Structure 1
Amino acid sequence: MAITKFSQEYHEKMFPGYKSRFLETDPEFIERFDNFAFDEVVNQDDLDDRSRFMAILATLLGCQGFDEFRAILPAALNFGVTPVEIKEIVYQSVAYLGIGRVFPFLKAVNEIFTARGIKLPLEPQATTTTENRREAGTQAQVDIFGDNMKDFWKSGPEETRHINYWLTDNCFGDYYTRKGLDYKQREMSTFCFIAAQGGCEPQLIAHAAANMRLGNDREFLIKIISQCVPYIGYPRSLNALNCVNEAAKKAI
């Protein structure tokens, strides 16, 4: 088989000692996929491996790639993504994907951690209480999006205002205020959740802009999209790129 040396070595770093059955059942497909995903894509840019695997995990959550998530999670650990970082990505995804879609992934993480001897629960990462989560959430929104978010929690028509309140106290006050990931990593993860699930272009443009505001510039987001192409395909990747470009235009 014509799997490149680099692809074979990278695959071995991801999955030490593992030989896929697909090499026997689907050799032509595996040759092309491995050479693309684990050589051509990896060598496209200088994105560090930890960011790459964090983005891939968030993307697989977004597109509901459960089996691939289970396969990639040990590889992410092998490339230095910490158990706390993995748990924080999964926890935060609930605000963007809903527990109905995230629940199987959380169970899988716990099973894999336990099998690898990672003691659960992990160290607590919460920094807010029931009493201050709304105020802390507002501060997080202001830090990420700007001063125009200061009164977001009480904005909108009366009959739907509670949802904006929840976005502040729950999405941002409960999750973005946690330790384990910084704002840049959280916004990168959110960008991947939204891009991978598709159909949420207004939110994707807004979070692309938030990423840029925090320092995850257009070049960085293109690298993130590029590394996730093998996992979500071209239509959603190209759509994400269009949203990044739209956000960049508005920022000029």
Structure 2
Amino acid sequence: MNNIEADFQEVISSWVKDVDTHCAVHLKNDRFLIPLIAGTVQGVTTSIKEQTKKTLAAGIKPEVIVEVIYQLAPGTGILRVQKSLIEVQKAFDEENIELKKITIDEDPEFGAKVQAKIYGTEIKNLLHDLPDQSGNFIPEALTEHFFNDFYGREALSVKDRERYGLLGLIALNVDFQIKAHARGSLKAGNSESELIWSVIQLLPYVGFPFVVNSAQVIHKSAVELGETK
């Protein structure tokens, strides 16, 4: 580490520690996954290997780590996910970790049913007037290749998928999707407190503006749904 990097680490060390100390009071050990989400979405893989080791040491199953990163692909694209998984694999190799086979729900429409329950036809309605059937293809592809392809994989619950997915969208700073998935995460069983503290855990990686804006969106959604806690 050169002098500039060492100096920067000294400057930010109290900030990172302060965030982690406060989040540890409100979140379970799966908060260690949150820096992995931020790094993957941002395409910054320099700390992925070491963070993966920290996450394993916190008792998080390797299948959960992989599944959280897999699920980011529909939001951030496959290339950044592939880059991140290379570093995850290095950590697994160094720790002699072997993945167990993921079981998949027998219902091929499991994800579509989850989508319908939480989101209804929101995207289909939004895109209905696009030309040459493109307005049909995009929502159909979303249903098939996000919800059906991922949600039936039983390493993660729907509740956790919604929370981790929301954090990925916040790291991307996509306003419409953050609003939709804040509501979706609450409807899937996440509490307002859990979501906001999860966003706070993102703070060193995405900065204050993203966190302040997203916390307000989550709070407003919780108020509208009558689920403030």
Q: TM-score, normalised by structure 2?
A: 0.85
- 1:97 lines up with 2:76 in the alignment: yes
**Residue matched to 2:43:** 64
**Equivalent AA in structure 1 for residue 207 of structure 2:** G
Structure 1: how far apart are the matches of 2:124 and 2:111?
10
- 1:224 lines up with 2:202 in the alignment: no
1:152 positional shift: 5.5
- 1:251 lines up with 2:225 in the alignment: yes
Which structure has more RCO (C-alpha within 8 Å, separation ≥ 6)?
2
- 1:156 lines up with 2:128 in the alignment: yes
**Residue matched to 1:172:** 147
Q: Which has the larger radius of gyration?
A: 1
**Equivalent AA in structure 2 for residue 125 of structure 1:** T
1:175 positional shift: 0.3
- RMSD over equivalenced CA pairs, Å: 2.5
Report Cα offsets for 1:106-141 as digits up to 9, x if no partner. 122122212211125x3133335xxx63x2222121
Residue from 201, 208, 220 that aligns with 1:234: 208
Q: How does 1:79-228 map to 2 (within 5 A)?
A: 79-119=58-98, 122-127=100-105, 133=108, 135-143=109-117, 145=118, 148-149=120-121, 156-157=128-129, 158-198=133-173, 200-228=174-202
Gaps of 5+ in 2: none
Where has structure 1 moved over 6 Å in runs of 4 or more? none
1:27 positional shift: 5.0
1:63 positional shift: 2.4
Report Cα offsets for 1:154-179 as digits up to 9, x if no partner. x8343321111111111000101111
Structure 1: how far apart are the matches of 2:206 and 2:122?
35
Report Cα offsets for 1:4-55 as digits up to 9, x if no partner. xxxxxxxxxxxxxxxxx47x765553334222212x1122242334221122
Structure 1: how far apart are the matches of 2:41 and 2:164?
10
Gaps of 5+ in 1: 1-20
